[in-house]
Structures are given as structure tokens and as C-alpha cells.
Amino acid sequence: MNFQITFKVNENLYLRDPEVSELGKQIVKASIDLIYELGFEQFTFKKLAKEISSTEASIYRYFENKHRLLLYILNWYWSCLEFNVMFELQNITDPKAKLKYIIQLLTQELPANAGHLNYNRKYLNHIIISESSKAYFVKDIEQINKEEAFKPYKDLCAQIALIIKAYNPRYAYAKSLTTTLIETAHDQQYFSTYLPKLTDASLKNKSDFTASFLEDLLFKVLK
């Protein structure tokens, strides 16, 4: 089944909704491409303006700064991932099978039916792995959190935690285990690509290493 879905991203993250204009959509799409290519530190609105043949002033009408733009991209991703978790698991009843499927979702690119097909899923997945921590390891984290900038991430974690509790009702740390799984998925994918000696990945198992590791970790913790 191939379909498109859209999400209402937190309005506190933008000055003007990028979904309401072609320029706004172009800003988000080109940002994903450039952040992937340059890295978040080297990404600037000046470079983005040049890429889309516009002006920095035009971009600032949509986003206050590049951190808000990164938060917007991450919000869209987490909303999309939560939708996929809920949609794909609705016909699965076994909690263990659900958890195995979630691990696959956390260690792969978004499926082809994941909303805006003009967003490069490979680039977006790379940004989530390598750049997402920069959204919350910031000085003004408390203010950003008050604006509910992390709500989609929290909602996804809450859904996964419920499945963990269904699998093992006696386990007391379902939310902490959920965030550990997600952040470990990012770390191990990044390390296995760039710093493989920090992992047990090999050329033979590199493609499925992180999923295998997370599954082993999860079910041994839950016994």
C-alpha cells in the first residue's frame, strides 16, 4: 500500500508554517539535503539560501534559527515514526513480535509510504542518527521543552513503553529502557559506520548488527 500522510508540526517551532507555501516546503527539503551533506555545524541559512536561489531574509520568515529548523525536521520524523509504529502494529497481537518489529523500524530508513516522498529518506535517517542529540543537548533545553518541542518523541516513547509493559508487566523501567533503545540505535549505527572498533560490528554483519544487538539487549533485560 502506498499513500501519503502529513503531520501538524508544533507551531512553536516556526514563524510561518512551511507547509503552506512552495518556498517553505523547498526550505525543509533542501535543509535535509544540506544538513546531510555538510553536517549541522557547517549548515547555515546563507548556504541554504544559495541552494534554493532565495535570500536569508526569506528563510528567517519561516524559522528563527537553524536549531528551530532542526527541531522541525525531527518533529516531523518522530511523528512519522510513531504513525508507522501504530499503523503497522495494529494487526500484531504478540508483544514480543511487536517489539521485534519496532527494533527493525528504529534501525532502518523510513518506509516508502512515510509521508512526504520528496524528502530523501536516506538523508533524513542519517540526520536522525548523527544530529538528533544536538536538538536537546542545548543550554535552553528547559524553555524548549516547555514549548512541547519534544512531544512527538515523548509520544513515540510512551507507545513503545506500553508494549514493553505488556510483554513484562513486572519490569519497572519501561520508559528508560525505551529511550535507551532509541539512543543506542543511533549510537551503534553511527559507531559501526565511522568508529567500528567501538562496536562488535563486522563487514559480514554490519547491515543488521544494530538490530541484532538491540534485540539481544532488550530481551535479556526483560528476561
* CATH number of the domain to which 124 belongs: 1.10.357
Backbone dihedral angles phi then psi of residue 66, each to the nearest 5 degrees = -70, -25
Q: Domain range for residue 162?
A: 71-222
The answer for residues whose C-beta is within 8 angstroms of residue 179's C-beta and 6 or more apart is 157
Asked if residue 157 belongs to a domain, the reply is: yes
E strand segments, 35-84:
none
Cell of 132: 538528533
Output the tens digit of pLDDT for each of the chain's 223 residues.
444 556 678 999 999 999 999 999 999 999 999 999 999 999 999 999 999 999 999 999 999 999 999 999 999 999 989 988 888 899 999 999 999 999 999 999 876 655 555 788 889 999 999 999 999 999 999 999 999 999 999 999 999 999 999 999 999 999 999 999 999 999 999 999 999 999 999 877 777 999 999 999 999 999 8
Asked if residue 110 belongs to a domain, the reply is: yes
Cell of 125: 535517517
Asked if residue 102 belongs to a domain, the reply is: yes
